[in-house]
Structure 1
Amino acid sequence: MSDMSTIRKVLSLEQKLEVCRLVESFGLRLSTISGIYRSRLQLSAFMLHMNTSSCCSSQNWMKKASNSALDSAVYMWFFQKRALD
């Protein structure tokens, strides 16, 4: 993040209005936008872990398993059973 803090990008008034229109079209508040932007690395890592974006297109939350070893075992079992069918 040190690179982002030293580089400033100036947006034109038209670009700023476009950002405002986009935010308003989703009906989001500034705190929501900031939260999404802060978690962008976790979002991309989660999507890569899920292998396909089609399974996550309607998903709203990223939830981590409390027992990751069990979660991995169930995940592998699921794919093995799915491959047999």
Structure 2
Amino acid sequence: MTSPAPEPPASREFVKQSSLYQEFLAEREEILKHKWLESERLGYDIGFERALLDWIRKHREGWRAARRSQLSHAALAGSGKKEN
């Protein structure tokens, strides 16, 4: 079995700068916060998988809506346009 060829550095940088990857990192950060809060509340480490599933069920939709709103406001502010 052959291992895949290593990615060129330019390709890795492109991925790191992509909006999809940035969204993934932001979600991951929220899941880790949720894991910490729930683990503290329950008194034991709930693990990443449980935190992930719990966060998706309870918080993902609202978080994404708030993030989209925040990003669109930031884009409008950066372009100098006013929102209707």
Q: Fold match, TM over 0.5?
A: no
Larger RCO (CA under 8 A, 6+ residues apart) = 2
Between Structure 1 and Structure 2, the one with more helix by share is 2
TM-score (norm 1): 0.30
Q: Which is higher, the Rg of structure 1 or of structure 2? A: 1
TM-score (norm 2): 0.31
